Amino acid sequence: MNSTQSRKSDHIRICTEKQVESKKSTLFECVEFADIDLSNRIDEESFSEENIDCSITLFGKKLNYPIIIAGMTGGTAEAEQINQNLAKSAEKLGIGFGLGSQRAMIENPGLASTYKVRSVAPKTLLLGNIGAAQLSEYSPEQIQSVISEVGADVLAVHLNEIQEALQPEGSWTNYSEKLKQLCNSLQVPVIAKETGMGISKTTAESLKSTGISGIDVGGAGGTSFARVELERSKDSIENFQDSGIPTAGSILEVRKVFSGLLIATGGIRTGSDIAKALALGADAVGIALPLLKPAQESSEAVTKKLENLVNEFKTELLKLKSQTVNQLKQRKTTISGELEQWV
């Protein structure tokens, strides 16, 4: 195993065995729907598919729910099984699926099979993935080639500067220029994706000038990669574990300056979190950690976990008398407490 493979293997082990979620909140608890009608009771009939349409269109593909399985892994035999199970479930439910960093398959083309999921997910919206730090190591042509090889529809470039800084083997880079070159050269749209620190208004503004098509805020309140890196190396710097812009705050920050596609990842755990993220301005949400253990088990276990979540989300839509995601997005919210400072 080379160092990229063993890092990905450590991430899976640590994320399934240790407490890696931030102590910081996403701040979705500070969001309430202003015009909720509690007299609207849910019954079996109104809970049917005909009445509620949770579908959206993302990058030209129809998703049955505004959900993407956020990128986690690739590069090892265990990762291959996890990707297969996640992708199978994404295809069944009609949601998006993100691969983990494809760095391992650039370094070793023999590992490509651990990322290839098109045989089980031919129609799924598939997101490829690479770190911003790798943009100075690999040319746009090399990156395009791994995107084409797996048949991804979109590339997510993760910007985890803190994680890079905390990794013993990490590197800080000025990614802006490289990202611009990449957006100009690739045949697929590019999104910029944080992985737990959130994206500020200033970062969103500078990202906008690179030509990206979307932003995944990757806010604080869910998996904390500073915690993961601290578990990997006791020499890693403390103090960052619970820092970052909470996911709800980051949606508000990014929406001040960015009207493109916005994905909210980071601590999305309930149907209510999904509804609130969309009402604050997200177009879809991403979910990673809660699906990791089920994905080690089977695609059925992943589907079961996700079905619970979409049922909760449908209940939110019913409570809010919204038949579609667009109607939900029009619902007024009130914002209180700590989240007010991000308004």
Q: Which of residues 218-277 bind ligand FMN (CB under 6 A)?
A: 218, 222-223, 265-268
Q: Does 100 bind ligand FMN (CB under 6 A)?
A: yes
Question: Residue 104 has which token pair?
Answer: 């391992």
* Count of residues that interact with ligand FMN, criterion CB under 6 A: 26
* Total number of residues shown for the chain: 343
Question: What's the distance, CA 273 to chain centroid?
Answer: 14
Residue 171 dihedral angles phi and psi, to the nearest 5°: -145, 140
Q: Does 128 bind ligand FMN (CB under 6 A)?
A: no
User: Binding string to ligand FMN for residues 290 to 329, with x set by CB under 6 A, is what?
Assistant: --x-------------------------------------
**Cβ distance 199 to 218 under 8 Å?**
yes
Distance CA 248, CA 251 (A): 5
158 binds ligand FMN per the rule CB under 6 A = yes
Q: How far is the CB of 296 from ligand FMN (least distance, A)?
A: 11
| Residue closest to ligand FMN, measured at CB | 222
Three-state SS for 156? strand
Residue recorded with tokens 């598939």: 126
Nearest 10 degrees: CA dihedral of 97, 100, 104, 110? Answer: -30
Only segment of 108-116, 200-208, 288-296, 318-326 that touches ligand FMN (CB under 6 A) = 288-296
Query: From the CB of 158, what's the least distance to ligand FMN, in Å?
Result: 3
Nearest residue to 71 via CA among 140, 131, 113: 131
Neighbours of 145 (CB within 10 A): 14
Q: Which residue has the tokens 């042509």?
A: 141
Q: Is residue 24 near ligand FMN by the rule CB under 6 A? A: no
Q: Provide, rounded to whole angstroms, the least separation between the CB of residue 209 and ligand FMN.
A: 22
Question: CB under 8 Å to 216, separation ≥6 — which residues?
Answer: 70, 156, 191, 192, 193, 194, 262, 263, 264, 265, 286
Nearer to ligand FMN, 236 or 265 (CB): 265
Task: Build a one-symbol-per-residue string for 181-220: x at contacts with ligand FMN by CB under 6 A, - elsewhere.
Answer: ------------x-xx---------------------x--
DSSP string over 208-226:
HTTT-SEEE---BTSB-HH
70 binds ligand FMN (CB under 6 A): yes
Residue from the set 288, 302, 317, 335 that interacts with ligand FMN by CB under 6 A: 288
Q: Residue 240: enclosing H or E segment and its boundaries?
A: none
Nearer to ligand FMN, 20 or 320 (CB): 20
Q: Which of the ranges 146-154, 204-212, 283-291, 323-331 carries the binding residues for ligand FMN, by CB under 6 A?
A: 283-291
Smallest distance from ligand FMN to CB 25, Å = 12
Cβ distance 337 to 26 under 8 Å? no
> Which residues bind to ligand FMN, rule: CB under 6 A?
11-12, 15, 70-73, 100-101, 129, 156, 158, 193, 195-196, 218, 222-223, 265-268, 287-289, 292
